[in-house]
Amino acid sequence: MMTDLLSKLQTPTKLQTPIVATLAEKQQESPGIYTLHLALETNSSFDFAFGQFNMLYLFGLGEVPISIMGWQHDLLLHTIRAVGRVTQPLVALDIGAQLGLRGPFGQGWPLRQLEGLDLVFITAGLGCAPVVAAIHYAVENRSKYGRIVILQGVKHHNDLLWQPQYERWRDLGDCQVLLAASEEKKRKYHWRLGMVTELLALAQFDSSHCAVLMCGPEIMMLAALKQLAKHQVSDKSVYLSLERNFQCGHGSCGHCQLGPYFVCKDGPVFHYPQIKSWFGLAGV
């Protein structure tokens, strides 16, 4: 009875026990937000999909799940907001410091499957790394996609990370960048006042031939889903990235469950129809 299960291949080390990552470069994106560039001990490429995450370990303090931002010059990029017991000392590390890394975990954005479609990115707040990573991919593979629409909401103008990048995206051609600030009193050039969901009225894309990629607070995504329905965007066109308590990263510890799903392994990126009946319910 046991032979099938026990004969399974040995677990790759980087998934069960951390590998060593060395901080090679660090840049501040805004107050409290840093991008860490990590050199991996394996000295080879790190196979991942945009939207997946790693567990980063700080010696003696523990692990935190962090979305993968990209791979650049043989370094793995993670953008981290210093908010907790582990992330605060993590972003304070000096160049050359070592940390542990397990991953990559979970399901990323199905960017290959979305080729040929208009892409609509919707994010709000500061923790929008999974969507920004997907934007990077789409921009690098510009010819494979139709129009690109980027909708970003923040509380204050200055909360927007990577402001120069947004300006560059605006100049890409066939790329619309729409920004909203919900708690500003004065409107700035290129900005709207209000919620990110209100930007959809200005967005120009083919609602019957598009994919929407979202992440951010669930209340924002719920509001966006309502607006998208008004704009005749089918549920089937929507993908979203969720946040839950991730401790193991591979669907074992049970903390991240959403109905029948383990968000860490079945997500964090979900096709909306898959989780529709569970998404947004209070206390689930």
Task: State the alpha helices, DSSP H only, in 18-177.
Answer: 87-91, 129-140, 163-170
6 is an interface residue for other proteins by CB under 8 A = yes
Pairing relationship of beta strands 70-72 and 75-81 according to DSSP bridges: antiparallel
Least distance in Å: CB of 96 to other proteins? 10
Token digits for 204? 């120009």
CB atoms within 10 A of CB 187: 12
Q: Which C-beta is closer to other proteins: that of 11 or that of 208?
A: 11
Q: Which of 25, 89, 98, 165 binds other proteins (CB under 8 A)?
A: 98
Least distance in Å: CB of 215 to other proteins? 14
Site string for other proteins, 194-233 (x = CB under 8 A): ----------------------------------------
Q: Which C-beta is closer to other proteins: that of 205 or that of 279?
A: 279
Q: Which of 2, 47, 143, 189 binds other proteins (CB under 8 A)?
A: 2
273 is an interface residue for other proteins by CB under 8 A = no
Q: From the centroid of its chain, how far is CA 20?
A: 23
Token digits for 258? 């959403």
Which positions from 36 through 75 interact with other proteins, judged by CB under 8 A?
57, 59-63
CA atoms in the 13 A half-sphere facing the CB of 281: 9
Least distance in Å: CB of 129 to other proteins? 14
Q: Which of 160, 214, 248, 275 binds other proteins (CB under 8 A)?
A: 248
5 is an interface residue for other proteins by CB under 8 A = yes
Cβ neighbours of residue 167 under 8 Å, at least 6 residues apart? none
With vertex at residue 116, the alpha carbon angle to CA 112 and CA 122, rounded to the nearest 5 degrees, is 75
